[in-house]
Structure formats: structure tokens, C-alpha cells
């Protein structure tokens, strides 16, 4: 299962969502905080899951099947192309 920690108004999250749509991948979207370095937390539970990966940064992808986690839209898009594209 793919999980995307993101924000609807974040251009980097949009890039990843568009890639997920392009490849026809199903995923669960979590909205832990607003975009920006100091974005307000909107969901405490998913925010804790986000920062458990080591950063407070969106987008953040969790691929539970492959046990892979990663930040950064460019890295995520490349990963999706490689494994799901």
C-alpha cells in the first residue's frame, strides 16, 4: 500500500499526486499539516507519523509493501517511475 503525507495546496505534493494518477496507483492521502516550513498541524496523529520518518517535511511517501519511506517530490516521482511506472 502507498501512503502519501501531503497537503492539497503544496505544489510538491501536487507533483507526486499527478504522478500517482498518471501511473494509476491507488494510495491513501494523509494531510498532517499545511504547506510551508511552519505550516500549522491539522492532524496530530498523522503529523506524528510524518515526523517519525525523521523530518517534518511534505510530501512524504510510505510504501508499506516494500518497506520504503522517503521525502522529496523529485525522489518520490523517480521511485514511483522505477517501481510502479
Residue 43: its H or E element: none
Q: Which of 71, 38, 39, 40 lies closest to 53, judged by CA?
A: 71
pLDDT band (50, 70, 90) for residue 1: very high
Using a pLDDT cut of 90, give the percent of the chain over it.
Answer: 86
pLDDT the model gives residue 34: 84
Where helices occur in the chain by DSSP H, the ranges are 11-22, 44-51, 73-84
pLDDT the model gives residue 84: 93
Strand 27-30 to 2-5 pairing: parallel
pLDDT in tens, 48-79: 999 999 999 999 999 999 999 999 999 999 99
User: Does the pLDDT value for residue 37 go beyond 80?
Assistant: no
Is the model's pTM score more than 0.85?
yes
Amino acid at each position: 500500500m502507498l501512503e502519501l503525507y501531503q497537503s492539497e495546496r503544496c505544489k510538491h505534493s501536487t507533483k507526486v499526486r499527478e504522478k500517482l494518477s498518471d501511473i494509476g496507483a491507488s494510495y491513501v492521502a494523509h494531510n498532517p499539516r499545511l504547506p510551508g516550513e511552519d505550516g500549522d498541524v491539522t492532524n496530530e496523529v498523522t503529523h506524528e507519523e510524518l515526523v517519525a520518518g525523521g523530518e517534518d517535511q511534505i510530501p512524504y511517501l510510505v510504501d508499506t509493501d516494500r518497506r520504503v519511506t522517503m521525502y522529496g517530490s523529485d525522489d518520490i516521482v523517480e521511485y514511483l517511475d522505477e517501481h510502479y511506472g
